[in-house]
Amino acid sequence: MAYHGHKLLEEHILKSEDLEGKTIIEVGSVREYLEGQNSTGFFMDLCMKHNMKLISVDMDPDCSANVHKEAEKRKFKNYEAITMKGEDYLKNIEIFDYLYLDGFDYHHDWHSDVRKEKYKNILNTEITNEGSWRSHLDMVEAVHKKGREHSLICIDDVFSPVKGKGCTAIPFLLQNGWECLENNYNAAIFSNQSPP
Ligand SMILES: C[S@@+](CC[C@H](N)C(=O)[O-])C[C@H]1O[C@@H](n2cnc3c(N)ncnc32)[C@H](O)[C@@H]1O
């Protein structure tokens, strides 16, 4: 199975013994059922096991509808599905436990026309690397001072310093009190070195 970063975040969350009542925020809800994806369902299973909450944020109402479907399948109640840009949502939170960033796609040649239309209709933009980098940078800028001691940030689709979603967000985190714990599953995970 070619896992994505949700597996990496889970592995690091499970190192803590004190999970009850904690919240996972994911930006980028389940869009399609591709092998190794569906972070939303994956996090719901984790939350159900450990009495945690999931907040799933996506700019696309169809993806938020998928969150409700995943919850319904499991009879999972401790969640919120929020249709909003991740940048806007994260500006307005005060503190977070675990954050999974898998939002604005990076550019590649296989994005479907339906997907490209969503970006045009909802965000009035094309799918570009610059858009992906800006969005993920804006999100980490919004939260880098809002972590607690145990907080983790995981960015998915991290392939190299110049390819993927983290090209500008990762240097920002490293210069602002966050340490890279591990790169795996084409993702990178960071812990908070300067909690309040
Ligand atoms: C790669 S998909 C997420 C896949 C999902 N995490 C999974 O594992 O199935 C990226 C998602 O980010 C959403 N997105 C793109 N830009 C966004 C933004 N600025 N804020 C919130 N969501 C965004 C898209 O609508 C899309 O559903």
Ligand 1 site, residue 41, Cβ cutoff 6 A: no
Ligand 1 mean position, distance from CA 59 (Å): 7
CA of 29 to the centre of ligand 1 (A): 6
**Cα angle, residue 179 at apex, residues 149 and 18 outer, rounded to 5°:** 30
Class of domain 5-155+163-176: alpha beta
Closest CA to 26 of 137, 175, 153: 153
**Which atom of ligand 1 is nearest the CA belonging to 6?**
8
Does pTM surpass 0.95?
Answer: yes
Per-residue pLDDT of the chain (196 residues; tens, 9 = 90+): 678 999 999 999 999 989 999 999 999 999 988 877 899 999 999 999 999 999 999 999 999 999 999 999 999 999 999 999 999 999 999 999 999 999 999 999 999 999 999 999 999 999 999 999 999 999 999 999 999 999 999 999 999 999 999 999 999 999 999 999 999 999 999 999 988 7
With a 6 A CB cut-off, is 103 part of the ligand 1 pocket? yes
- CA of 62 relative to ligand 1 center, distance in Å: 11
Q: What does the domain layout of the chain look like in residue ranges?
A: 5-155+163-176
Ligand 1 atom 26 nearest Cα = 28
Instruction: Name the CA dihedral angle for 68, 71, 73, 74, rounded to a multiple of 10 degrees.
Output: -170
The residue nearest atom 15 of ligand 1, judged by CA position, is: 104
Q: What is the pLDDT of residue 34?
A: 81
Q: What residues contact 130, with CB distance under 8 A and at least 6 apart? A: none
Q: Which residues contact 145 (CB under 8 A, 6 or more apart)?
A: 196
- Indicate the top mutation candidate among 27, 130, 140 to test ligand 1's pocket, ranked by most ligand atoms within 8 A of CB: 27
d(CA 149, CA 172) in angstroms, rounded, equals 19
Query: Residue 45's Cα: distance from chain center in Å?
Result: 16
Cα 181 to ligand 1 centroid, rounded to whole Å? 24
Predicted confidence at residue 150, as pLDDT, reads 96
- How far is 174 from 155, CA to CA, in rounded Å? 13
Tokens of 169: 């967000």
Residue among 26, 30, 60, 83 whose CB has most ligand 1 atoms within 8 A, to mutate? 60
Spacing, Cα 101 to ligand 1 middle (Å)? 9
Q: Specify the ligand 1 atom closest to the Cα of 31.
A: 27
How far CA 195 is from CA of 29, 104, 145, 152, 176, in Å, comes to 28, 28, 8, 11, 11
